[in-house]
A and B are shown apart, each in its own frame.
Chain A
Amino acid sequence: GENVEQHPSTLSVQEGDSAVIKCTYSDSASNYFPWYKQELGKGPQLIIDIRSNVGEKKDQRIAVTLNKTAKHFSLHITETQPEDSAVYFCAASKDKVSNTGKLIFGQGTTLQVKP
């Protein structure tokens, strides 16, 4: 089955710096790659996603890149702010026509943005 590895497990940056979180996946048939942000005491929330027919997607200060050949994708946060501090999860799944799909999550990255 699919396996998603996420690095680093913790990341500390100064406010205003950039943060990069990387994930690799094992199933080459995977074609959907979302990123979720989990703030303290809350459930994860989707912040951005990318599909396999796209190499990069950007939404304001966050961007995601996908390299299907290498089977890895990354989250980039620019101009980090203290409110970006949270746990970030990458995930991967593949569409199934006649069966249900499953979203497999990475292990999570705890991002701390120091003011």
Chain B
Amino acid sequence: DTAVSQTPKYLVTQMGNDKSIKCEQNLGHDTMYWYKQDSKKFLKIMFSYNNKELIINETVPNRFSPKSPDKAHLNLHINSLELGDSAVYFCASSPGWQANEKLFFGSGTQLSVL
């Protein structure tokens, strides 16, 4: 069973479109995250939710809106996609909200904006 699963794995779309990436974890963790990995492999946190509550919201354009319907799911909706949004987006989870907890990553969604 996949612990952290995200869909789709690949997403190719045109500039200006709106798209969503879904994430689910079956580990019973309280905290979920979205990370962005750029073409140089740099990993940067975007958002973090603990028990459906937003706890980390980095400097991310308003076009990105996370939604957590329950603590096992964290989705990412992106409006008006731009070329610079092309990256690999990783969902992750951890047992709690402390920064010293092990992160469990999904396999990533490669977003290509044309």
- The reply to whether B43 and A45 contact each other, CB–CB distance below 8 Å, is no
Whether B103 sits at the interface, judged by CB under 8 Å, is yes
- The reply to whether B45 and A43 contact each other, CB–CB distance below 8 Å, is no
Closest to A31 in B: B100
Which of A45, A49, A100, A105 lies in contact with B44, CB distance below 8 A? Answer: A105
A88-111 residues with Cβ-Cβ distance < 8 A to B are 89, 93-96, 100-103, 105, 107-108, 110
Whether B34 sits at the interface, judged by CB under 8 Å, is no
Alpha-carbon gap, A93 to B48, bound state (A): 15
Whole-angstrom distance between the Cβ of A100 and the nearest chain B Cβ: 5
- The reply to whether B40 and A101 contact each other, CB–CB distance below 8 Å, is no
- The reply to whether B99 and A96 contact each other, CB–CB distance below 8 Å, is yes
- The reply to whether B99 and A32 contact each other, CB–CB distance below 8 Å, is yes
- Chain B residues with a Cβ closer than 8 Å to the other chain, count: 23
- Given A107-B40, A107-B41, answer yes or no on A100-B105 (Cβ-Cβ < 8 Å): no
Whole-angstrom distance between the Cβ of B51 and the nearest chain A Cβ: 12
B54-81 residues with Cβ-Cβ distance < 8 A to A are 55-56
List chain B residues, Cβ under 8 A from A36.
103
- The reply to whether A46 and B44 contact each other, CB–CB distance below 8 Å, is no
Closest 10 CB pairs of A and B: A101-B99, A43-B105, A93-B99, A32-B100, A108-B41, A105-B43, A100-B55, A46-B102, A100-B97, A44-B105
